[in-house]
Amino acid sequence: MHKKKVLIIDDDARNIFALSATLRAKSFDCVSCSGAREALELLAKDEIIDAVLIDMMMPDMDGYEAIPLIKNIDSRKHTPVIAVTAQAMVGDREKCLLAGADGYISKPINVDNLLQLLRNV
């Protein structure tokens, strides 16, 4: 059985570092992209990615635009995409799910909640 691999998409290197360190400590492999366009190119390849964590607010393309594009890649239709947002406002979770996200978590990340979302990956 291979280690589960998570793609982290975030424009803030500190967030990528923190999430990667946390997930690696829990036996996940991690790859990262600093923008959605770069992530879409990576996801279009046949590389194994078991789940995607995507920051919803990025300068090149936000998560609301990127998630449907990820889900439109034939090999990624069933890849879980978890929306990560710093703006935990009323309605954000529903908006993320409507965009096609399979899960939602707000910053600061609660590690137990994140692991719960990734449990079935």
- CA of residue 44 relative to chain centroid, distance: 15
Residue predicted with more confidence, 64 or 92: 64
Cβ–Cβ < 8 Å for 8, 36: no
Task: Specify the DSSP element, H or E, that contains 10.
Answer: none
- pTM over 0.85? The answer is yes
Q: How confident is the model at residue 1 (pLDDT cuts 50, 70, 90)?
A: low
Give all strands of the β-sheet with 29-33 in edge-to-edge order: 29-33, 5-9, 51-55, 81-85, 103-106
Class for the domain spanning 5-118: alpha beta
pLDDT per position as a tens digit, 15-53: 999 999 999 999 999 999 999 999 999 999 978 999 999
Q: Provide the residue count of the chain.
A: 121
Residue predicted with more confidence, 87 or 112: 112
* Residue tagged 């309605």 (tokens): 91
